[in-house]
């Protein structure tokens, strides 16, 4: 029985109701070209994917992993488990693995010293401090290995599907991988969930132990409205960046990897962000409360229930060219009755060519109770025949 239900669910998903929507939108490859091996440009307000190139290819994160390290920290601060005044001890492991003697990015933390969490955060964000990451990891989870498990667990909870973390620093590990899609989504999550802590990413410099270091994000020095986030480099995947700008009332996030040098990284990131600001306009495609489609019910007073959005639904479309955008209602069903008004029972997928551009929850527009026995029997027979077919 369970196997049959599973088959029916998959069938319903594949046979999801298609909306009669067709706007013109060329593929990302036709709109724009970049030297980056992997890239994704995301509109921070609507969540629209404006450009994608191998965005789901797993690559070594390098220091981009520190974005996830900070998410774990910010989550603990927001929940009250930590405060900015908490102090963490610099162990010999943190000092040797991530400190000045390691030859990597460091905030020059002194062995056996205690450092306030806020200073560690600044060291990690501004100086990309490996020692700061390890001090935080050991202080929060007892070991960096335990902390890395927390990173991956949090990644799944916030919707990062393809990223795996094995340390807090991003130092090379064969099993540690991220995707540019996940990195862009992570940046947006940090901006929206932790605005009071996101401001650290715009700091231009930070001094610790008498040593001043400047933020390595090249976008901050450009007059383009940049206010974050992180750079990275590995021999295997080249130069990478996750950057964000707020300009002309728009928030854009870029994530890219596979660039040959620092100059190309800065130029490609800026060029893509500039293009995103200039080449797209916002369009309202559905209004709050507007019925978008219908979802099939099982055993209900009626065969279907209409679905709607809770807020006005907007999407960014290119100023020129629209010919390949489609939207469809997707759900796993039929949905079991009864259904309460406002229950999330489906989602709206907006695609450009083969790329998923935007995904929005859909809610029942009305309540529907259980139907009479003969209606339930009819639905059961229908599902049985579908499963057999």
Q: Which residues are annotated as a binding site for substrate?
A: 230
Please tell me which residue in 63, 105, 163, 237 is annotated as part of the active site. 63
- Rounded CA-CA distance 154/341 in Å is 31
Contact 144, 130 (CB under 8 A): no
SS (H, E, C) the chain: CHHHHHHHHHHHHHCCCEEEEEECCCCHHHHCCCCCCEEEEEECCCCCEEEEECCCCCECCHHHHHHHHHHHHHHHHHHCCCCCCCEEECCHHHHHHHCHHHCCCCCCCCCCCEEEHHHHHHHHHHHCCHHHHHHHHHHHHCCHHHHHHHHHHHHHHCCCCCCECCCCCCCCCCCCEECHHHHHHHHHHHHHHCHHHHHHHHCCEEEECCEEEECCCHHHHCCCCEEEEEEEEECCCEEEEEEEEEECCEEEEEEEEEECCHHHHHHHHHHHHHHHHHHEEEEEEECCCCEEEEEEEECECCCEEEEECCCCEEEEEECCCCCCEEEEEECCCCEECCECCCCEEEEEEEEECCEEEEEEEEEECCCECECCHHHHHHHHHHHHHHHHC
Catalytic residue list contains 246: no
- Rounded CA-CA distance 360/348 in Å is 5
Scan for tokens 């410099």, then name that residue. 205
Annotated binding site: 230
Please tell me which residue in 53, 66, 122, 177 is annotated as part of the active site. 66
Catalytic residue list contains 53: no
Contact 332, 297 (CB under 8 A): no
Please tell me which residue in 105, 122, 128, 237 is annotated as part of the active site. 128
- Rounded CA-CA distance 19/30 in Å is 25
217-234 burial by CB neighbour count: b if 16+ within 10 A, else e? bbbbebebbbbbbbbbbb
Contact 276, 256 (CB under 8 A): no
Catalytic residue list contains 163: no
| Residues belonging to the active site | 63, 66, 128
């Amino acid at each position: 029985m369970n196997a049959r239900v599973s088959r029916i669910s998959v069938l319903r998903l594949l046979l999801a109701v298609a909306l009669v929507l067709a706007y013109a939108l060329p593929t990302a490859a036709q709109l724009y070209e970049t030297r980056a091996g992997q890239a994704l440009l995301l509109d921070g307000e609507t969540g629209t994917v404006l450009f994608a190139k191998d965005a789901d290819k797993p690559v070594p994160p390098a220091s981009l992993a520190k974005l996830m390290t900070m998410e774990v920290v910010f989550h603990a601060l927001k929940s009250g488990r930590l405060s900015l005044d908490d102090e963490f001890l610099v162990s010999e492991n943190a000092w040797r693995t991530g400190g000045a003697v390691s030859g990597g990015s460091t905030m020059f933390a002194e062995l056996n010293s205690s450092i306030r969490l806020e200073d560690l955060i600044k060291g990690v964000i501004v100086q990309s401090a490996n020692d700061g990451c390890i001090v935080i990891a050991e202080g929060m989870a007892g070991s960096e290995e335990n902390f890395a498990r927390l990173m991956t667990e949090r990644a799944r909870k916030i919707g990062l599907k393809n990223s795996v973390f094995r340390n807090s620093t991003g130092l090379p590990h064969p099993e540690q991988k991220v995707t540019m899609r996940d990195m862009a989504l992570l940046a947006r999550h940090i901006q929206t969930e932790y605005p009071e802590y996101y401001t650290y990413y715009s700091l231009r410099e930070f001094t610790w132990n008498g040593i001043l270091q400047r933020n390595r994000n090249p976008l901050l020095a450009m007059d383009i409205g940049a206010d974050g986030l992180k750079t990275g480099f590995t021999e295997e995947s080249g130069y990478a960046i996750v950057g964000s700008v707020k300009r002309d009332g728009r928030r854009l996030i870029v994530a890219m990897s596979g660039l040959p040098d620092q100059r190309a990284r800065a130029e490609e990131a800026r060029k893509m962000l500039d293009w995103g600001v200039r080449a797209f306009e916002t369009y309202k495609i559905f209004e709050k409360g507007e019925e978008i489609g219908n979802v099939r019910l099982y055993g209900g007073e009626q065969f279907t229930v209409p679905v709607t959005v809770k807020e006005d639904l907007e999407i960014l479309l290119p100023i020129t060219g629209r010919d390949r955008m489609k939207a469809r209602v997707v759900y796993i069903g039929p949905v079991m009755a009864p259904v309460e008004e406002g229950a999330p029972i489906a989602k709206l997928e907006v695609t450009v060519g083969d790329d998923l551009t935007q995904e929005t929850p859909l809610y029942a527009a009305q309540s529907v109770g259980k139907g009479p026995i003969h209606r339930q029997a009819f639905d059961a027979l229908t599902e049985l025949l579908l499963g057999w077919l």
